[in-house]
Amino acid sequence: VNFTSTGCYSVLMDRLQNLSSQLAPSAGGGRRVKVAVLGAAGGIGQPLSMLLKMNPLVGELALYDVANTPGVACDLSHMSTPAVAKGYVGADQLPAALQGCQLVVIPAGVPRKPGMTRDDLFNINAGIVAGLCEAVARHCPTAWLAIISNPVNST
The rounded distance, in Å, linking the Cα atoms of 74 and 68 is: 10
How many structural domains compose the chain?
A: 1
pLDDT band at 9 (very low <50, low <70, confident <90, very high): low
Other C-beta atoms lying within 10 Å of the C-beta of residue 43: 11
The reply to whether 67 falls in a domain is yes
Give yes or no for a contact between 29 and 71, defined as CB atoms under 8 angstroms apart: no
Predicted local distance difference test score (pLDDT) of residue 17? 78
Q: pLDDT tens-digit profile of 98-149? A: 999 999 999 998 888 999 998 899 999 999 999 999 999 999 999 999 998 8
CA Rg value for the chain: 15
11 lies in some domain: no
Report the CATH number that the domain containing residue 95 is assigned in CATH.
3.40.50.720
Q: With respect to residue 48, please indicate whether it lies within any of the assigned structural domains.
A: yes
Residue type, 34: K
Q: Is residue 4 part of a domain?
A: no
pLDDT given for residue 78 in this prediction = 95
Determine, yes or no, domain membership for 140.
yes
Q: Which domain holds residue 100?
A: 32-147
Q: What is the pLDDT of residue 4?
A: 44
Mean pLDDT, range 48-54, rounded to an integer? 95
